[in-house]
Amino acid sequence: MTRQKKEIIKQVERVQMGMEMDDLMGCGLPPAVYEAREQEIYTLWEQLARLQHYASVEDMLYDTRDCENAGCP
């Protein structure tokens, strides 16, 4: 995996962790904040899909080519 792909995954995890921490702490941020963060995550997923030569995020997320070896359901 290239460095750029790893950095994108780290950014996604960082944003998701922030959202989880907000929930756990009960900060109750306005929905617009969560929508902006979810859009940021989706934008990062789009970049990752493009780097991995997928046509879309959905194609990347629902790719089952490795499932035969990994034992996916």
pLDDT per residue as tens digits for the range 42-60: 999 999 999 999 999 999 9
Global pTM? 0.77
pLDDT at 40: 95
Q: Which amino acid is present at 61?
A: L
Question: Residue 68 — pLDDT band, cuts 50, 70, 90?
Answer: low
Question: 47: helix, coil or strand?
Answer: helix
The CA-based diameter of the chain, rounded to the nearest angstrom, is 43
Rounded mean pLDDT of 20-39? 81
